[in-house]
Structure 1
Amino acid sequence: MHRRRLLSGAAALTASASLLPSLAGTAHAVPRAASAGLPPRAEITAVLRRVADQWIGAHTDPGDNGWANATFFSGLLALQRLTNSDRYLAYARGWAEKHAYGLNGGVTTRHADNHNAGQAYLDLYEREPEERKLTAIETSLHRMVYEDQPDKNDDWWWDDALHMAMPPFARMGALRKDPQYWAKLYALYDHTKRIEGGPGLYDPATGLWYRDKRFLPGGIASPTGKPVVWSRGNGWVAGGHVKTLKALPPGERHTAEYRDTLTRLVRAVAGVQRGDGFWNVNLADAAHLPGPETSGTSFFLYGTSYAIGAGLVDRPTYLPVAARAWNGLVTTAVHHDGFLGYVQNVGDRPESSQPVTYDSTANFGVGAFLLAGTELARLARY
């Protein structure tokens, strides 16, 4: 018996061949092929409720307001919007009240991880508007835009930061009708994408991202000498773009670039999806820790589902990608009681927090799963 560790179309790959040579034409040995059929919305929602309820039942203390737990609450509040559950709203409200809607590091923080809690605070504000809920996140972002070295744009030096901090800037700009938040968002984003590490963390030839400058060509490689293109790192990027696009108006000057970047990422990962519906922790090396992994897969499902619904990619081609991911997650990672397994815990590369097992879980992995399933449910029939 495992011991649970409870820790808080394919043609699009052509452009990715230079970065992902190891996966071109490679069949990964998998235990079970995932179905490409999309379940009805009620069935998807029932699984989401089971996973959320299991986590809440096992965590009567809602926990800290760090980036990992904030990702869980982002997912829970997405599910709350889908289901209108009073229980989920009360649990999230209790968490935010426990922390007085504050941020790790206080309002002077510039660190993207510390801004992630602001996403849930904004969700709670939209549900029950009270200005005190936004005091900390707004003050912190306002300082970066207007007061504290407003020309400094090198804060987001790792790709995870795009998920943590892009959405609060986008949403605050929309809420306050102040495009300076959007300008600052793009300046920070552009540095990460094109300047950080010299060439930037984005590879325009493939549409994928390196986690940070250590993994750029000539840096850290897999044990067989192939590139390290971390699944969850790219998943964070996908999630950040989805949430940002949900907040920005279509006419904002950089919306088109965000849409194009997400579209290219979704197309690229579709070409390296495994037969069981998952993605490898290293997208560029199928032999590098090849077991199933839930968090990166969930974020790719989130990005793909949004891209389908927003018309960024062709539904007949990409809906089977999303369905295989969902069905693989449900049949392989979701336990009968709703416990979510095969989550790679905190780290910065495929080797982090290994081994990833049936009983490996984490709050941010559950949050990613809830985000993904909630977005997929919108594509399903009743």
Structure 2
Amino acid sequence: MDRRQLLATAALVAATPAVPLVAAAPAHAAPPSPTLPSRAAIVSVLRRVTDHWIGAHGNPGDNRWARATFFSGLTAVHRLTGERRYLDYARGWAERHGYGLNAGVTTRHADNHNAGQTYLDLYEIEPEPAKIAAIEDSLRRMVYTDRPQKNDDWWWDDALHMAMPPFARIGRLRNDTRFWEKLYGLYNHTKRVQGGPGLYAPSQGGLWYRDDRFLPGGILSPSGRPVLWSRGNGWVAAGHVKTLKTMPANAAHVQEYRDTLAQLVRALRPIQRADGFWNVNLADAAHLPGPETSGTAFFAYGTAYAAATGLVDAATYLPVAARAWNGMVATAVHPDGFLGYVQNVGDRPESSQPVNYGTTADFGVGAFLLAGTELAALAT
């Protein structure tokens, strides 16, 4: 199905929200339209949010996971718009850190590998070996020399976003499937082994626990329900999208990545709030209810990609992504481009509360930029 057919089909879908598995918190505004705005309208919002962040941050920041996620979104907006200022800002950040990794090339920590995504983006634009020397060296050590049989490094679900894409991209760049096999070994441990059963939860519709503290028998919400953290699942969705954008369709394990993303996207539809957002605890709408932008943005990104590539039915799921986007624009984007309702750094729904119109974070802005660029590709 091409883009025009996809949009025409989606336009036939009724705007009635899906019936939730758990009661959605009351919306504070009228439900947003499930109709995708024009490409120009999406790009206008992306520019406003991007320009606000850059204008407010003359110092581009460190090269850790949170700021690196912003830059992943920024390079996506550069690819969409061709805006030179965005490329210059991203290049300046990378050069400030010498295209290096936090903790150096011996690191095995997924958070430290996240910066490699932007270095690889910049390498694709202007291929210079020094740009990817550190990320390639670090991953190559894990694949070939530094305990290559050790696969328990990714013990939390955020790691899938931080490190799956660099392994996928270096493997493709070097035509070396050992990187893809290592990726799968790490991924499979997170999914099926970590904490005993793994963090993937088929009993919860294909959602994921953030880490093994939240597995059955562990931490529950105040009302005794499971804790399935929104942004944790958002990291999972984004990691799958970026990996699938890189790996050939016939490569080993790609079908599993496709199926897993599709299952997660299907699980999200019935628990989307009427205002387009998702709550911080996907399993308990009464647990700190309210809009939250970072998880919602990642879900819009994953859902848009899944609809565009046929992993899920476009007529059913493109309106889900459009409703999320329109809800964020109406509720979280300030007139000057500040992005609110972002839950700051944490590992569960209670982290960095309260979440409100004035709370933001670099990774939340990055997630929003990724969502918008994915949707702009589907708009006319």
- Provide the TM-score with structure 1 as the length reference: 0.94
Q: State the match for 1:49 in structure 2.
A: 47
How is 1:137-216 mapped onto 2 (pairs within 5 angstroms)?
137-205=135-203, 206-216=205-215
How is 1:56-135 mapped onto 2 (pairs within 5 angstroms)?
56-135=54-133
Structure 2 Cα separation of the partners of residues 79 and 29 of structure 1:
33
Q: State the match for 1:350 in structure 2.
A: 349
Q: State the match for 1:309 in structure 2.
A: 308
Query: Deviations 1:193-230 (Å, cap 9, x if unpaired)?
Result: 00000000001231110000000011000011110000
Q: State the match for 2:221 in structure 1.
A: 222
Deviation at 1:135, TM superposition (A): 0.7
Structure 1 Cα separation of the partners of residues 340 and 85 of structure 2:
24
Deviation at 1:31, TM superposition (A): 1.4
Percent identity between matched residues is: 73
Matched, 1:28 2:25: yes
- Quick one: structure 1 residues 256 and 356, their matched pair in 2 at CA, closer, same or farther if it must change by over 3 Å? same
Deviation at 1:319, TM superposition (A): 1.2
Structure 1 Cα separation of the partners of residues 21 and 280 of structure 2:
16
Structure 2 Cα separation of the partners of residues 208 and 310 of structure 1:
20
Q: Secondary structure at the match of 1:360?
A: coil
Q: State the match for 1:279 in structure 2.
A: 278
Q: State the match for 2:369 in structure 1.
A: 370
Q: Secondary structure at the match of 2:59?
A: coil
Q: Secondary structure at the match of 2:360?
A: strand
Deviation at 1:271, TM superposition (A): 1.1
Query: Deviations 1:76-113 (Å, cap 9, x if unpaired)?
Result: 00000000110000000000000000000100000000
Structure 1 Cα separation of the partners of residues 27 and 41 of structure 2:
25
Query: Deviations 1:7-54 (Å, cap 9, x if unpaired)?
Result: xx99xx99xxxxxxxx52625311121111110000000000000000
Structure 2 Cα separation of the partners of residues 187 and 312 of structure 1:
24
- Structure 1 gaps, min length 5: 1-8, 15-22
Structure 2 Cα separation of the partners of residues 109 and 174 of structure 1:
22
Deviation at 1:72, TM superposition (A): 0.1
Structure 2 Cα separation of the partners of residues 202 and 282 of structure 1:
16
How is 1:310-325 mapped onto 2 (pairs within 5 angstroms)?
310-325=309-324
Deviation at 1:325, TM superposition (A): 0.1
Structure 2 Cα separation of the partners of residues 141 and 24 of structure 1:
40
Q: State the match for 1:232 in structure 2.
A: 231
Deviation at 1:309, TM superposition (A): 1.0
Letter of the 1:30 partner, please give it. Answer: A
- Whether the 8 Å CA contact 2:25–2:290 is kept in 1: the answer is no
Instruction: Say how many residue pairs are matched.
Output: 363
Structure 1, 120-129 or 313-322: larger mean CA deviation: 313-322
Q: Secondary structure at the match of 1:361?
A: coil
Q: State the match for 1:330 in structure 2.
A: 329
Letter of the 1:65 partner, please give it. Answer: N
- Whether the 8 Å CA contact 2:22–2:284 is kept in 1: the answer is no
Q: State the match for 2:293 in structure 1.
A: 294
Query: Deviations 1:277-318 (Å, cap 9, x if unpaired)?
Result: 000000000100101000000000000010011111111111
Letter of the 1:121 partner, please give it. Answer: Y
- Structure 2 gaps, min length 5: 1-12
Structure 2 Cα separation of the partners of residues 85 and 182 of structure 1:
33
Structure 1 Cα separation of the partners of residues 25 and 340 of structure 2:
21
Letter of the 1:76 partner, please give it. Answer: L
Structure 1 Cα separation of the partners of residues 289 and 316 of structure 2:
25
